[in-house]
Amino acid sequence: EIVIINKTPISKETIDKCPNIKTIAVLATGYNVVDYEYAKSKGIPVQNVPVYGTDNVSQFAVSLLMEVCSHIGHHNESVHKGEWASNADWCYWHYPMIEVSGKTAGIIGLGRIGVNTAKILKAMNVNVIAYDAFQSEAGKQVATYVELDELLAKSDFISVHAPAVDGGALINAETIAKMKDGVTIINTSRGTNVDEAALLAGLESGKVRSAGLDVYADEPATNKALYSHPMVSCTPHIGAATKEAQKRIGAEIVEIIESFGK
């Protein structure tokens, strides 16, 4: 068996050099780092751990949203430096804070994590709408399903929870143009779901008010202009890194591997 994290690619060439592979297990919710079709053609099962990150990633997505709405990191750093920029007018013009209550959040991808994110947002008096190619009863309990164009037009905040898709980024120049002016974009899914150049252009034009990013097209992140933008809160792909989740994923992957030996 091979057990990998979601940053370790397993290519066709790697599979060919390891003729005795029986199972590939990925310590993540997805397995996009594995040449899945080739592994399948060789009769090698590829397993992920789909549920370990539901609570922590949804919590993290909302945390990113709250950060870009309140700029807690900036003000914390300011106080640590001995500053006291508490003047309301100064804050309004330089780091404007907004309330989430009464706003509309659009969730793209209403799977386990998307549903849990919606639950948290609804508890904060946020109206939640969602787009997903597959509608579920669990999703209908926490959000109103709409078409993608309607979600883009109505959402004050957009949080992406979809798997990586073929055909390019879900958030690109075309979809950003359809969004509300001053929209906030949160991505804790896959870095390739957001066109970083288009997002930066939206931020610079003011079309996009702010963004919270935990994932990037290249990791470590290379788009310095994006991650150093004052209205972007960036973290190094740590949304699933709680100590509780790490315990869960270890236990679950052991069970998965053992099941193949039965």
Q: Which residues are catalytically annotated?
A: 190, 219, 237
The DSSP bridge pattern shows strands 144-145 and 24-27 to be unpaired
Dihedral-angle region of residue 109 (phi above 0 means left; psi in -120 to 50 means alpha; beta otherwise): left
One-letter identity of residue 118: A
Peptide bond into 220 cis (omega under 30): yes
Q: Which 8-state DSSP code applies to residue 251?
A: H
Question: Under a CB-based contact definition with an 8 Å cutoff, are residues 170 and 145 in contact?
Answer: no
Question: How many whole angstroms separate alpha carbon 152 and alpha carbon 66?
Answer: 20
